[in-house]
Amino acid sequence: MIHFLIHEASDNVGVAVVEVATGTDLIGRDLHSNEQITARAEEAIPLGHKLALKDFAVGDSVIKYGNVIGQIVQPVKTGHLVHVHNLKTKRWA
């Protein structure tokens, strides 16, 4: 089962394609290369939401679909949810 997708090798967040429970070992797919990626959910990730594929510090850029979509405003650990509480578009950061 595929749990999350990335669209470009440069993406540092994945998009959940199913509801993900805390503690789940995840299988992802890179849509550009068709390679399998693995990760672990350290918290629940709702369908359609972003999963951190690396540790982020305040000020780090988030890359999705091969593009910078925003900036981290609170530290995020690998396997955690990236959403409005810790990510802002660069316009509003």
Distance CA 1, CA 61 (A): 29
Question: H/E element holding 71?
Answer: strand 67-72
pTM over 0.75, yes/no: yes
What would the pLDDT profile of 8-56 be if each residue is shown by its tens digit?
A: 999 999 999 999 999 999 999 999 999 999 999 999 999 999 999 999 9
Is residue 48 a part of any domain in this protein? yes
Is residue 10 a part of any domain in this protein? yes
Is residue 58 a part of any domain in this protein? yes
Domain count within the chain: 1
Is residue 93 a part of any domain in this protein? no
Is residue 68 a part of any domain in this protein? yes
Is residue 27 a part of any domain in this protein? yes
Domain of 23?
4-88
CATH number at residue 33: 2.30.130.110
